[in-house]
Amino acid sequence: MTTPPAEQRAARRYGLMAAKLAVSVVLLAFLFSRIDLASLWASARRASVPWLTVALGIYFFNVLLSVWRWRVLLDAQDVDLPWRMLLGSFLVATFFNNFLPSNIGGDVMRISDTARAAGSKTLATTVVLTDRVIGLIALALVAAVGATTVASIAGHVPSPIWPSWLWAGFVGATMATAPAVLAPSGFGRMLQPLTVFHPEWVGDRIDGITAALDRFRNRPIAIARCFLGAVAVQATIVTFFIAVAHALHVPVAPWDLAVIVPLSFIVQMLPVSVNGFGVREATFSFYFTRVGLSMESALLVSLVATALGMLVSLSGAVVWFSRGHH
């Protein structure tokens, strides 16, 4: 007797989730086994509450910057939505990203909330994906600048990734994505082989993507503003980590955080763990020990920063339930 397709998909989904959970648990268990838990807890209790409050304020300002960047892209597509609605949607997306076992759920919410005003799910999806790609390029730029600064100050490169690699990643990502905006019709032709799966449905989506990218090409100022906003978002999140480290009395240099924070975000995008837990902490631990800091301090900064982000995202739960969802 064969297993129904729906049951096969469910089994694969649960199996993948179990594998991700195992990776997170194993990595965290290994890291915690290498430190003194009592000392970690004592360090956490000595944290400066005023500086943690400052960190929370910086994080919320980062959310506002992210919403502004999203709105810039929507305006470029002639999609007019009120700021309050976009803020609520972004907070709900942040809540989903932090409390669901996938970062995709938040993007789905943003797409769902803007699809009606955009008149097309394809257009709403293109805007969110463009926002994501520009944010990823900004991550690479901030990390490259941070690593270059560390190398010039310290006279060596403590990061496991050389600045030249990060600059190559930034340039490569920019060059790989530029044709989509500079030559939308050519990008659309590149997608044409996908029509083999469903000529009419896929063809309509490709046309929608091409039209959206063409509008972006005709409004380069919007793309430039979004990119500058993305750099500001990444710089702000680094500042948030600086405030967290200061609150925890961890003597990590700001430029070191400018390297490790973007790298940790890139690494935790890999679909190998539950919301980056374990992978993110391992990345912090590896970098911190390379610059002469303890693994305990790495775990402390990573986990406290994550906890503060989750705390802010709880406001998204309030927005979600205020809509009448159950």
pLDDT at 326: 45
3-class DSSP state for residue 266? helix
Give the rounded distance of the alpha carbon of 95 from its chain centre. 13
Q: How big is the chain, counted in residues?
A: 326
For the chain, 326 residues long, give each residue's pLDDT as a single digit of tens. Answer: 455 567 777 778 778 888 888 989 999 999 999 998 898 899 889 999 999 999 999 999 999 999 999 999 999 999 999 999 999 999 999 999 888 766 667 889 999 999 999 888 999 999 999 999 999 999 999 989 988 888 777 655 455 567 888 899 899 989 988 888 888 888 777 877 877 777 788 788 888 889 999 999 999 999 999 999 999 999 999 999 999 999 999 999 898 899 899 989 888 888 888 888 899 999 999 999 988 899 999 999 999 999 999 999 999 999 998 886 54
Q: Supply the pTM of this predicted model.
A: 0.90
Gyration radius of the chain over CA positions: 21
pLDDT at 303: 95
- Structure tokens belonging to residue 308: 């503060």
Q: What is the DSSP string of 30-60?
A: HHHHTS-HHHHHHHHHT--HHHHHHHHHHHH
> Burial, 310: exposed, middle or buried (Cβ in 10 Å; 0-12, 13-18, 19+)?
middle
pLDDT at 158: 52
d(CA 295, CA 281): 9
Which amino acid is residue 310, in one-letter code?
Answer: M
d(CA 13, CA 200): 29
d(CA 286, CA 276): 15
**Contact between residue 101 and residue 73 where contact means Cβ atoms under 8 Å apart:** no
Cβ-proximal residues to 261 (8 Å cutoff; 6+ apart), any chain: 234, 237, 238, 241
- Report which of 306, 311, 310, 303 is spatially closest to residue 35, judged by C-alpha positions: 303
* Euclidean distance between the first and the last CA atom of the chain, given in angstroms as a whole number: 37
pLDDT at 104: 67
Which amino acid is residue 113, in one-letter code?
Answer: D
pLDDT at 188: 77
- Taking the CA atoms of 302, 303, 308 and 313 in sequence, report the sign of the dihedral they define: positive
d(CA 223, CA 285): 36
- Structure tokens belonging to residue 180: 């989509």
3-class DSSP state for residue 115? helix
- Alpha helices by DSSP H, listed for the chain, are 5-33, 37-45, 49-76, 83-99, 104-118, 121-154, 163-182, 184-191, 199-217, 220-247, 254-268, 279-290, 295-322
pLDDT at 3: 53
- Taking the CA atoms of 252, 312, 71 and 120 in sequence, report the sign of the dihedral they define: positive
pLDDT at 172: 92
